Amino acid sequence: MRNFKFFQYSLILLLIFSVTTTVTAQERGVQSDDSMTLFENVMNSRQPINGTNTYDGLNAGTTGNYGSYFGANSAFAIGAAPFHNSFMGAFSGYSTTDGQYNTYLGAGAGYRNTTGNYNVAVGFVAGFSNITGERNVFIGNFAGFNETTSDKLYIDNSNTVTPLLYGDFAADKLGINTNQLPNNVGGADTSAYSLYVEGGILTEELRVRTGWADYVFESDYTLMPLSKVEAYISENGHLPNVPSATQVEAQGIEIGDMTRIQQEKIEELTLYIIELKKQVDELNQKVKDLSEK
């Protein structure tokens, strides 16, 4: 008998839940089986709906819409307008007033940000000092602690200004052990490059896509006479089409292009040797003919 009553109660609750879900979906103009439409409606909604926030903790924020606030003083200053913020940890998002679509996880994460949107801060006081920045990603304890601008990436477990990984989303650039992404090196334009590594790279293999120098073997390639090569070296102190020591020391070298140039010189040397071999063979034949006479 007791089991039968439990079954009745369970059935009634299930029916109430089904009806409530259907009505809620219809009121919002959403098909219950259309998750994409539901997602778009939630994201585009700007009308406050009672009970859309989830919060737990002393002085945790209670206003805003579709927010989740967990921890003492999380979202302490939150206003009525913000949407879709998720804060977890004491004092996380403490100063947020109008910022939206932010995710702060960790005590003091995103503490000073007031109006910035689309920020992610994960770790103890990650992104602490960023007051109005937007679209930042700070991962690690103290990560991006002193960063105040937008579109930045910090991954580290300290407040160092040279984090393990630093990125600029606006410029699509990534740096390792640095927060400086230079646009020139020794006068050479490096603005088109996407990765900068402070301290160098150690690797067991490096593959570079580049052009090659087989054009030297084309029939229309002009091979500089050795006499002119000698004169060029005497005047300039380096081979034709090869950067000087001064240029390399100031600007560095582009690995792919330098490898092609070196291959060009190897192939030119091969042609010089073939030509010299023909001349030697011709001279040997003449000597042989003279000897026979």
Q: Which residues of the chain have pLDDT under 50?
A: 2, 4, 6-7, 9-33, 38-39, 42-43, 45-51
3-state secondary structure of 21: helix
Are residues 73 and 94 in contact, defined by beta-carbon separation less than 8 angstroms? yes
Q: What is the pLDDT of residues 195-244, one digit of tens each?
A: 999 888 999 998 998 999 999 999 999 999 999 999 999 999 999 999 99
Confidence (pLDDT) at 37 = 58
Q: What would the two tokens of residue 38 be?
A: 């539901």
Confidence (pLDDT) at 48 = 43
Are residues 100 and 82 in contact, defined by beta-carbon separation less than 8 angstroms? yes
Are residues 53 and 63 in contact, defined by beta-carbon separation less than 8 angstroms? yes
Confidence (pLDDT) at 40 = 56
Confidence (pLDDT) at 47 = 46
Confidence (pLDDT) at 43 = 47
CA dist., res. 255 & res. 248, Å (int): 12
Q: Are strands 120-122 and 103-105 parallel, antiparallel or unpaired?
A: parallel
Closest CA to 124 of 108, 111, 102, 147: 108
Confidence (pLDDT) at 34 = 59
Confidence (pLDDT) at 50 = 43
Q: For residue 105, what are the β-bridge partners? A: 88, 122
CA dist., res. 264 & res. 213, Å (int): 5
Q: Is the pTM of this model over 0.85?
A: no
Residue found by looking up tokens 């209670």 in the block: 62
Provide the phi-psi class of 108: left if phi over 0, else alpha when psi is between -120 and 50, else beta.
Answer: left
